[in-house]
Structure 1
C-alpha cells in the first residue's frame, strides 16, 4: 500500500522541490506525526520511491495541494510509556512547577531575548522555547501528554458534574 502523508505549507522551506529536506509529516491514516528526511516534488518523476503528500495551506489550512514525497529517513521510534507519563503528571499536581537550570549561560540568553522584546519575561521565553523544542523533537510525547491531560480534565469535570446531582 502506498503511503499517504500530510504536512502544512508552513513546514516547507522556500522552493523545496527536488531538494533533500527535514520535514514534519503526519500519516494520513493513523495521524501519527513523524519528522523525516525526504525529497519532495510536485511530480513523482524525480523521486525514486514516491508516496503521496498533501500540502495544506491558507489561513485555515483548508486549501490542499497534491505533492509527492520520497522518505529517506524517519525519526527514531519514540514509543511513549503512557503509564509513566500519567504517573509523573499525578506526582507533579502538588509540586512546584518551577524549573531551575542553574545556568548563567541560559539565563543570560533568555534575559537578552526578553530585553530585546522578543519575549515579555524570562519565564515566557523559557516556556516557549522548551515547548517548541519538545513539539519538534518529541511530537509523540507531546501528543500523548495532550491526550492524557484532556482525559484527566474530562474525568475531573465529569466527577464534579455528577457530584452536583
Structure 2
C-alpha cells in the first residue's frame, strides 16, 4: 500500500463494497482532487492492491472511518495545465473583474436581451452567456477550476480555523 486517499461518504454509492465505481477522492498529502475508477472496501484482504482510504462523514464531515481502495484507473489527462490555471487564479485575485469586448454588436445584443427582460442587466447577460458557453465547450477546464477554487477556499478556511487553537 502506497497511497493515502480521502473522500466524503456522500461520494460513495449506497453499497460500494466490492463493486467497481467512479469516485472523487483527494490525495491526503497533496490535497489534489481527482476522479478515479476503483473498488472500495472495509477489509484490505478483499482488494487486490489496496491503499488507505479515509471516509469522512457526518453533518460536518468530522467523523472518519478507515476504508481501503483499489485504484483501477485515474482521470485521463484532460490537457488542462493545472499550474497555469492556478497561476492565473492567483494573478486575478487583486485585479479588476471587468471584461470589455469593445464591440458595439455584442453590447447591442446584450442590451436588447436586457430590454426584453431576458436578463436584469448587461452584466448578468454577459456572465450567464459566457458561463454557459464555457460550461458547454470547456467542461474539463470549468471542472478543474471548480476543484482548485474549492481546494483553495478549504485551505484558507482550515488555516483560519487552526489559527484560533
TM-score of the pair, normalised by structure 1? 0.59
Q: Cα–Cα, structure 1 residues 145 and 66, in superposed 2: closer, same or farther, change >3 Å?
A: closer
Within 2, Cα distance between the matches of 1:66 and 1:86? 35
Q: Output the aligned Cα RMSD.
A: 3.5
Instruction: Find the counterpart in structure 2 of residue 98 from structure 1.
Output: 127
1:25 alignment partner, SS class: strand
Within 2, Cα distance between the matches of 1:138 and 1:23? 15
> 76-85 or 7-16: which moved more?
76-85
Tell me how far 1:144 sits from its aligned partner: 3.4
Tell me how far 1:93 sits from its aligned partner: 1.4
Q: Deviations over 1:71-119 (max 9, x none)?
A: 0010134432134456778887113343328xxxxxxxxxxxxxxxxxx
Gaps of 5+ in 1: 102-125, 152-165
**Any residues of structure 2 matched to 1:145-156 within 5 Å, and which?**
145=149, 147=152
Tell me how far 1:63 sits from its aligned partner: 1.1
How many pairs were matched up?
A: 120
Q: Cα–Cα, structure 1 residues 67 and 21, in superposed 2: closer, same or farther, change >3 Å?
A: same
Within 1, Cα distance between the matches of 2:37 and 2:67? 16
Within 2, Cα distance between the matches of 1:49 and 1:61? 27
Instruction: Find the counterpart in structure 2 of residue 58 from structure 1.
Output: 58
TM-score of the pair, normalised by structure 2? 0.59
